Amino acid sequence: MNDPKHGMTLIVKTVTRITVWLIILYGIYLILHGHLTPGGGFGGGVIIALAFLNVLLAYGRSFTKNWLNLKFMEDIEAASATLFLFMGILGIALGGRFLTNFLGPGKPFTLFSAGHIPILNILIGVKVGMCLFLVVWVLAALRTGEGGEE
């Protein structure tokens, strides 16, 4: 894990190891409270992508490749897009129109309110987080010409 040949110095690696989970937690908080406070699925997803990017920059490619399951990330990225469509079709089935808020408003200012908005926020957060990290991963491979070695 602390291979000095890859990534940055020990100081950067230690700080990253401590802070990366806090960053991910903040992203999850923004996603879950998207219907109550500023933030939402998009901002929270970008924070999660930046946390993974932080690990990629600090520890290097080979460690990140072992740490993250990239195939699984691709899968849940595609699955969240499909689930977004599925929520829309569920709106047809239960509410009569595409993407209808079929769950009802609920009690405002509580976590479980606003119908399908939190669910869609979670789907968008997962989608954006995985998508942006994968795009950066591929772009970095193009720059260093490592695409063929994986």
Partner 1 sequence: MPVETWLYFILGFMIVGSVIALEIRDILSSVVAIGVVGLGVSVAFLFLQAPDLAIVQFLFEIFAMVILIRAFVKKDYHMETPARVHGILVGVSILTLVAVLVASIPVFRLLPAFGEPLMETSRHYVDHGLSDTGAANLVSAVILDYRAYDTLGEVTVLFTAVLGTMTILRIRRAKNGGGKDA
Interacting residue ranges for partner 1, rule: CB under 8 A: 30, 34-43, 46-47, 49-50, 53, 57, 70-71, 74, 77-78, 81, 84-85, 88, 98-99, 101, 104-109, 113-117, 120-121, 124, 127-128, 131-132, 134-136, 138-143, 147-150
Of 3 and 150, the one with the shorter C-beta distance to partner 1 is 150
Of 13 and 131, the one with the shorter C-beta distance to partner 1 is 131
Q: For 76-89, what is the HEC assignment? A: HHHHHHHHHHHHHH
Q: Using CA atoms, how far apart are residues 88 and 102, in angstroms rounded to an integer?
A: 10
**C-alpha separations of 88 from 9, 93, 96, 103, 133 in Å:** 48, 9, 10, 12, 26
Residue 147, helix vs strand vs coil:
helix
- CB of residue 147 to partner 1, shortest distance in Å: 4
Of 9 and 82, the one with the shorter C-beta distance to partner 1 is 82
CA angle 86, 125, 139 (to 5 degrees): 110
Amino acid at 105: P
- CB of residue 67 to partner 1, shortest distance in Å: 15
Of 13 and 31, the one with the shorter C-beta distance to partner 1 is 31
- CB of residue 10 to partner 1, shortest distance in Å: 21
- CB of residue 34 to partner 1, shortest distance in Å: 5
- In a 10 Å sphere around its CB, with 0-12 CB exposed, 13-18 middle and 19+ buried, how is residue 50 labelled? middle
